[in-house]
Amino acid sequence: MDFPTFIYLYMVLNTSKYSFLWMLLCCMFIFFSSCKKNKDKPLPQIMLTFPRELDAFIVGDSIPVIAQITHTMEIVSVKVVLVNAEGIPVLVPKYIYPGSTSYALDYEYPITKNLQSGNYSLLVSAGDGSNTAKVYTQLMISGVGRFFEQAIAICQPNSLNTYVYGIDADGDYENILNLDHGYIDSDISSDHRQLYILKPSPDILIAYNLDSLVEIDFSVNASPPYPEFHSVSYFQFSPLAYVPNANGEIRGYNSQGSPIFITPLNTDTIPLQCYRHDNMMLAYCVRRGGPERFIRQYYEGTGVYRAGLKININVVDIFSLDPDQAVVFGNDDTTARAYVYDITGNAFYSEISMPEGIVSQLAEVSTGRYLIGHENGIYLYNHNDASMSLWLSGISVDVLVYDDLSQYVYYAVENEVYVHRFSDAALLQQVLLPYEVANLLIQYNN
């Protein structure tokens, strides 16, 4: 519609009889004029000279990004990011704010995450605050194999401080993070490159970036009326950090800190620890204000409650045997107890013979084989032939973890960390740390 036509219609329709039509016409005129204006507005020009289409890189490389960006008005922002076939970013974007009409982009974009080998696209975009130009360049990225980076020891000198140490393959250690607060629990996600720490009073879940431990990827505060967290657990094939809370629910957070998994609220039964089993999430729970203990089942995809079983032990760990069975290790008041748990039927149907004494820690070596940190030593239990043997005698471990790549066993007694070869229990390293070890974690490159 041109302006003279608009004036003519104004004269015809600007009466009380046609006032509604006149208002509608005005709105349409403004809308289409605005659309035409935005459509005709020039975009920033991006002349990308490097990288070129189908250039190849490997994980650990940096991609040289060279481009000349020009515009008829101020360039407000420039973004560089690697995306997958669905257009989802797989690396942290780099943002630049030129504030001029011309900008020479020259940036080394690092491939910091061990991506799967395949085709990705480098996106370079430039915007003026209203319109954005985008240029995609397809690249070939080769991933690298999984390897050990370090063992991480969480230490507590006192109730007000938490210190984190990295122990390399040679047994040398360094202080990598100091926290001016106490400690509840921790876990690690090598693929998300995050170290999860639960801080008490007030209770907060904090996800530290493993590539730059001074950076926090996200944090989540515990919610009233009972703002307490009990544990944090990360499972590689269910990429969420699961945190039971004192309000009676479990929440699973993704790498951005969004709650993707939430169980129904149960104010009478408090989850203390959770364990992944096939398509289920199992939780060890206690009655609020009472002595009763339970295992509760939730569907992993929805968080919907399936079943609950009252039990007579304090659970230490749960491991999957197959889709229908798990093995549950724990203690009663005086000694270790273990049972085979029928998931579908929701019942303990077989008790496993355990040595006299209390179990404190367990580590899965392979499906059906477990190292048991016992007050009389470390035992190896093989469920496949129902055998129990003393793997290492004369120690009572505080923390126990297994590195499945090197097949090394790490354990801590007070402030000393020991590394043994699994096959023959030979001692390989002994690391004396400044403070008592509260947890040991294994960090891989992915």
Burial (0-12, 13-18, 19+ Cβ within 10 Å), 389: exposed
Same domain, yes or no: 251 and 238: yes
- How many Å apart are CA 427 and CA 21, to the nearest integer? 89
Task: State the virtual CA torsion across 371, 372, 373, 377 in degrees, nearest 10.
Answer: -90
- How many Å apart are CA 110 and CA 95, to the nearest integer? 14
Same domain, yes or no: 286 and 247: yes
- pLDDT reading at 306 higher than 80: yes
Same domain, yes or no: 22 and 118: no
Average predicted confidence (pLDDT) for the chain: 90
Give the DSSP letter of residue 13: H
Same domain, yes or no: 127 and 50: yes
| pLDDT tens per residue across span 217-261 | 999 999 999 999 999 999 876 789 999 999 999 999 999 999 999
- pLDDT reading at 26 higher than 60: no
Asked if residue 446 is part of any domain, the answer here is: no
Same domain, yes or no: 301 and 272: yes
Per-residue confidence (pLDDT) for residue 144, from 0 to 100:
77
Same domain, yes or no: 307 and 240: yes
With cut-offs at 50, 70 and 90, classify the pLDDT of residue 333.
confident
Mean local confidence (pLDDT), 305-329? 95
- pLDDT reading at 90 higher than 90: no
Q: Which two tokens stand for residue 405?
A: 């790549």
| pLDDT tens per residue across span 382-411 | 999 999 999 999 999 999 999 999 999 999
Asked if residue 66 is part of any domain, the answer here is: yes
- How many Å apart are CA 89 and CA 75, to the nearest integer? 23
Q: What is the CATH number of the domain that holds 103?
A: 2.60.40.10
Query: Is pTM beyond 0.75 here?
Result: no
Number of domains in the chain: 3
C-alpha atoms less than 13 angstroms from C-alpha of 112 in its C-beta half-sphere: 16
Domain span at residue 59 reads: 45-142
Mean local confidence (pLDDT), 208-224? 93
Last-in-domain residue among 260, 286, 311 = 311
- pLDDT reading at 299 higher than 60: yes
- pLDDT reading at 197 higher than 80: yes
Same domain, yes or no: 244 and 306: yes
Alpha-carbon distances of 253 from 30, 169, 239, 256, 301, rounded to whole Å:
45, 31, 9, 8, 13
Same domain, yes or no: 194 and 274: yes
Mean local confidence (pLDDT), 55-81? 94
